[in-house]
Amino acid sequence: MDFDFVRPRRSVALSLVSGRGHYDTVVAAVLEAQLSVWIATANLKELMVEDPRAAPGRRRGGRRTAYRSVLAVLDELAGRGVDVRLLHAGVPSGPFAREWARHPRLRGALRLCPRLHLKAVVVDGALLYLGSANWTGAGLGAKGAGRRNFELGIVTDDTELLDEVQGIYDGLWRGLRCKVCKLRASCDAPIDSLISPPAVTAAPQERPPAQRPRRRPSSGRRRRRAPDSPARTPAT
């Protein structure tokens, strides 16, 4: 997995987003995800999102709006089979960690890499955000005017960029750079050491006679191998 490259120049259709524009495009797409949500961030904090279905909450910006944790949304998405991944570099904030503990379906969706500094969000393999914003309320425009960071990013549906960024992300998610990382000796939990190897099923003829199944699989059908064990994730 090569991280040292410059791709040839070409035309790409994209939108420039800033401030509240992050919330209106990136966060809005995450809330409506159908297949996958892949997030890469250096800093990781609790993020409250508007929830029009809930009862009115506290007043913000001169209007009454209900809010809930985006982790509750991601938990619901995971429950519907959406592939949720959150790759981060730093220790999550206390509020994030406490909320995370309430959603066990998300515990396999968090992995830590201390070298990670890129900020990216990929939704459904169809929308890509690349920019400066971390996964925080101030970064993604969820805070009120005057409380947001000065962030810039681009949003695109360009298939070539989507394919390449997803390939890079997936490689980091699977720990393909861990063995060559100079921080490995001081890393508390290298990703490649947290991922269980594939389960190995012995061929029927190699089993002791007492363990042979009484019934053979029907002809024309292959026996399915046991799925991989779920990956363990660093404690938050």
Spell out the domains of the chain, with CATH numbers in brackets: 15-194 (3.30.870.10)
The pLDDT tens digits for 22-48 are 999 999 999 999 999 999 999 999 999
Question: Rounded distance, CA 52 to CA 58, Å?
Answer: 13
Q: What does the pLDDT read at residue 82?
A: 98
Question: Rounded distance, CA 205 to CA 223, Å?
Answer: 14
The pLDDT tens digits for 111-127 are 999 999 999 999 999 99
Q: Are 196 and 230 in contact (CB under 8 A)?
A: yes
What six digits make up the tokens of 165? 């960024």
Q: What does the pLDDT read at residue 64?
A: 59
Q: Rg for the chain (alpha carbons), in Å? A: 21
The pLDDT tens digits for 197-231 are 443 333 344 434 444 334 444 444 444 444 443 44
Question: What does pTM read for this prediction?
Answer: 0.77
Question: Rounded distance, CA 149 to CA 41, Å?
Answer: 15
Lowest mean pLDDT among 10-14, 44-48, 142-146, 156-160: 142-146
Q: How confident is the model at residue 51 (pLDDT cuts 50, 70, 90)?
A: confident
Secondary structure of the chain in the HEC alphabet?
Answer: CCCCCCCCCCCCCCEEEECHHHHHHHHHHHHCCCCEEEEEECCECCCEEECCCCCCCCEECCEECCEEEHHHHHHHHHHCCCEEEEEECCCCCHHHHHHHCCCHHHHHHEEECCCCCCCEEEECCCEEEEECCCECCCCCCCCCCCCCCCCEEEEECCHHHHHHHHHHHHHHHCCCCHHHCCCHHHCCCCHHHHCCCCCCCCCHHHCCHHHCCCCCCCCCCCCCCCCCCCCCCCCC
Question: Rounded distance, CA 150 to CA 19, Å?
Answer: 6
Question: Rounded distance, CA 96 to CA 86, Å?
Answer: 13
The pLDDT tens digits for 177-204 are 898 998 888 888 889 887 754 433 333 4
